Amino acid sequence: MLNQKKLIVSHAPFWHDGSSIRVRSYHIMLAALPAALFGIFTYGMPALGVVSLSISFAIIWELLINKVTRRTISIGDGNAALIGLLFAMLLPATSPWWLVATGTLVAVVIGKHIYGGIGGNPFNPVLIGVAILMVAWKDFFDFNEALVNYDLGFAMVYPLAAAKHLGTSGIEAFSTAGLLLGQHSGGIGATFGLGLILGGIYLIIRGFIRWEISVSFLAGVFVTALFFHISDPSQYASPVFHLLTGYTLMGAFFLATEDSSSPVNFIPMLIYGAGAGVMAVLIRNIGAYVDGVVFAILLMNLINPICDKIRPKSLGKVV
Amino acid sequence: MIKRSFIGLTKPMLKYEALDVRTPEPTIIQEPKKVSLFLDKTYGFKDSILLKIGDTVKTGQKLSLSENSEAYVISTVTGKISSIETLTGDYGKTFTSVSIDVDDHEEIDDQFKTLAAEPTLDSANNFLSGVPGKPSFKIFSDPEKPINTIIVNGIDRDLLVATNQYIVKSEIDAIKNGIRILKEITGIDNILIAVPQNLTQDAIGGGAQVTTVDSEYPATLPAMMMQSILGQILPAGQSCEDMGVCFLTAEAVASIGTAFEAGRIPSTKTVTFVNKDGVKSLVSAKIGTPVRSILNAFGVTLNEKDRLILGGPMTGATLYSEDFPVLADTDAIIVQDRNNIPFVSDYPCINCGECVRACPANVPVNMLVRFLEAGQYEEAADQYDLYSCIECGLCSYVCVSKMPVFHYIKLAKYELGRTTSPEATNA
């Protein structure tokens, strides 16, 4: 018996479908890449600098917090890199290095690790980072001011700011096709509508994000914006404009769908997505902020645990 | 191993094994030099042990451990008892293993033959509970839980396994006898035979009402079949027997038929053997044959850190030794190469919801597993439907974090069972 071969013993099942957090993270990054690359080509080296710095810093912060809290090193799962990439895509190309460093620190440490790391975060880490920066240094998120030195051959005014301050007359220069092809200013990876939509569809088909959240978010934005537009077409922009500007598409496909902070049951997913969409347009049209996506999703993150209690009855459960 | 499909939007599609149009010929494993037979109970210090090392036993002889215990095993060979040991299995289950050195000259015990002419529930209970397929007869004599329906399972409970389908195809006459005898000895007329679509024609010969079962996992688990065949929903925490439904495998019914017909207790088990490269073959071996003999017959060499599985890939159990025997309910033996073994990890749940969508019982696995990880089993049972779980293993199969979800669930059920009735585990 002593010389016996040691076999692996473990509990059933003995199969696994081969999915992993790493595969998931890298595919989401892959889907975000077209939009990010478009931003880099549009805004040049400063944008490349912001993206690289953001990804590197996110990984470094994750590594440091792993060391400090004496946990296993978790940078290999790609989640930190994903946070870095998505964070950079929301920033203007001219963001200074310290803004990127602080933002990723907040995102990785306060957004994720103080809750116990991946899976424990009640809010989307990227949005926590962006929200704190937006409140602390709001001038850096004024895209008109940040991108003042750029002339890319299209109207360089930030569409949402124009719509808010000037009404529909301020946004006549933007065509739907132009918005889809990224001919408007905004965050590095948030302007190329077509790229974001294709990335989102890829993620939905591969099952890496839940389509219910994306679709209901977009529906929420569309319907709310439509009501505003009907009530006063001269003041409130059209629903399509709201869908394609600001962080709407980023929010629908990459931010609202973050696993840990979003529901998993069917009806709660619809409530969560639609709620975030409605809130986003409400903040845009009657709130203080130019773009409401960040706060709208954070707000819906808050109701996620209660919302997710609406679930189908389990098999044979009497109560 | 079936991997996630490119289009991940849908639920995993795991199809049961479908038998070819031609009936495969099982490979017959030579009678080994030594067999081990398992009794479901250990012997206590005060028990007078009826068996001792050196006793000679005949084929078909009933071996009981002691007079005040009902546990017995039918010897499948003729020979001398060489050792009696106690083994511990999963979740505190205990066995007594009786090893017999096989004699060249086979002698057949005829105690059963005299009883076989007139089948009764008693003689079935006393001699046939260890036949291939391992039918349980005790449930028929429980006055508190009367059984009114018997479902003969002609499709295997787990993936890759084709044992019971093979029995339906090749031994339908024996099944017919078995069903007739079951009707006679239990007095239950409502006997159904459940088969996959492709075996409907074969199953008609069984002389019972034929129903078809969906060929997608987990449609053949008892709770699912209760729902699809009988339209009854199994209440959480109850067993099918509580509802008056008894499941018997096709092989068990065929064994009953053969036993009473031939007056001899069947001892040959049909097993699906899955090689390292995934090639499946049917094997016919005596109960008690060590797994090693089957591996040798197929020329399989086990390496360090390979995995040996008794049962299917979703619900089976692993072995730590090649000397472990084929049991009466071993439907499959699977060998996994060390390079193909998916490991579990200690990552937390990321709340992706794959398990919630895969769960056939609508259990909120994402919440359940958080409580199970923390050891809060009572909360898990009260609030998050632990007892609704039908133990299919799909949650672990799809888990992105590779958490051992199924293991957590089984452990929680075991621990809760222990706290509620400490004596139950030894019963």
pLDDT in tens, B231-243: 989 998 888 988 9
Q: Find residues 110-149 of chain A whose CB sits inside 8 Å of chain B.
A: 116-120
CA atoms within 13 A on the CB side of A148: 6
β-pair type (B56-57, B27-28) = unpaired
pLDDT for the residue numbered A200: 97
With a cut of 60, say whether residue A2 has pLDDT above it. Answer: no
* Residue A307 near chain B (CB below 8 Å): no
pLDDT tens-place string over residues B345-355: 999 999 999 99
Q: Is the pLDDT of residue A179 over 80?
A: yes
Say if A318 is an interface residue toward chain B (CB within 8 Å). yes
Percent above pLDDT 70 for chain B: 97
- B290 phi/psi in degrees, rounded to 5: -65, 145
Asked if the Cβ–Cβ distance from B319 to A9 is below 8 Å, we say: yes
What are the CA-CA distances from residue B346 to residues A74, B15, B349, B413, B422 (Å)? 12, 29, 9, 21, 30
**Could you say which DSSP state residue A253 is in?**
I
Interface test with B, best of A315, A317, A319 (most B CBs within 10 A): A315
pLDDT band at A319 (very low <50, low <70, confident <90, very high): low
Least confident of A201-205, B67-71, B223-227, B362-366: B67-71
Nearest Cα of chain A lies from the Cα of B303 at a distance, in angstroms, of 7
In this predicted model, which residue has the larger pLDDT, A162 or B49?
A162
pLDDT at B331 over 90: yes
Q: How far apart are CA A295 and CA B371, in angstroms?
A: 30
- Is B313's CB within 8 Å of A13's CB? yes
Give the model's confidence band at A3: pLDDT under 50 very low, under 70 low, under 90 confident, else very high: low
Question: Mutating which of A6, A16, A113 best tests the B interface, going by the most B Cβ atoms within 10 A?
Answer: A16
Q: Are B348 and A316 in contact (CB < 8 Å)?
A: no
A317 Rama sector, left if φ>0, alpha if ψ -120 to 50, beta otherwise: beta
| Confidence band of B420 (pLDDT split at 50, 70, 90) | confident
The answer to whether the beta carbons of residues B349 and B396 sit under 8 Å apart is no
pLDDT tens, position by position, B108-139 = 888 888 888 888 898 888 899 889 999 988 88
Measured on CA atoms in the order B310, B251, B138, B125, is the torsion positive or negative?
Answer: negative
Please state the rounded mean pLDDT for residues A278-295.
94
pTM (2 decimals)?
A: 0.93
Residue type, B136: S
Distance CA A60, CA A110 (A): 15
Percent of chain B whose pLDDT exceeds 90: 57
What are the structural domain ranges in chain B? 32-107, 114-262, 269-340, 354-426
CATH top class, domain B269-340: alpha beta
CATH topology of domain B32-107: OB fold (Dihydrolipoamide Acetyltransferase, E2P) (2.40.50)
Q: pLDDT tens digit string along B152-183?
A: 999 898 999 999 999 999 999 999 999 999 99
Q: Which of A5, A12, A265 sits opposite B406 (nearest CB)?
A: A12
Which residue from A184, A153, A159 is spatially nearest to A171, judged by alpha carbons? Answer: A159
Q: Which of residues 185-244 of A touch B (CB under 8 A)?
A: 204-208, 210-211
pLDDT tier, B89 (very low <50, low <70, confident <90, very high otherwise): confident
Residue A239 has pLDDT above 90, yes or no: yes
Top residue of B347, B387, B411 to mutate, by most chain A CBs within 10 Å, is B347
Q: Please calculate the CA angle A27-A29-A33 and round it to the nearest 5 degrees.
A: 115
In this complex, is the C-beta atom of A77 within 8 Å of any C-beta atom belonging to chain B? yes
- Looking at the complex, does the CB of residue A319 fall below 8 Å from at least one CB of chain B? no
Asked if pLDDT for residue B45 goes beyond 80, the answer is no
CB contact under 8 A, A315 and B363: yes
**pLDDT over 60 at B422, yes or no:** no
Beta carbons of B397 and A15 less than 8 Å apart: yes
Q: Are A165 and A285 in contact (CB under 8 A)?
A: no
H helices present in B57-128, as ranges: 111-116, 121-127
B246, B149 contact by CB (below 8 A): yes
- List CB contacts of A274: < 8 A, sequence separation 6 or more: A216, A217, A219, A220
Q: What is the pLDDT of residue B423?
A: 53
Residue in chain B nearest A121 by alpha carbon: B350
Average pLDDT, chain B: 89
Phi, psi of A263 (to 5 degrees): -75, 165
Distance CA A265, CA B384 (A): 14
Contact A12 B319 (CB under 8 A): no
Answer yes or no: is pLDDT of A286 > 70: yes
Q: Please, are residues A133 and A110 in contact by the beta-carbon 8 Å criterion?
A: no
- In CATH terms, the fold of domain B114-262 is Rossmann fold (3.40.50)
The DSSP H or E segment spanning A241 is helix A239-244
- Which of A23, A82, A314, A318 is the best mutation test for B, with the most CBs of B within 10 A? A314
* The pLDDT of residue A246: 93
Give percent of chain A above pLDDT 70.
98
Per-residue pLDDT of B359-415, as tens digits, reads 999 999 999 999 999 999 999 999 999 999 999 999 999 999 999 999 999 999 999
- Backbone phi, psi, residue B96, to 5°: -115, 130
Provide the residue ranges of all domains of chain A, joining segments of one domain with +: 24-140, 153-307
Q: For position A31, what pLDDT does the model report?
A: 97
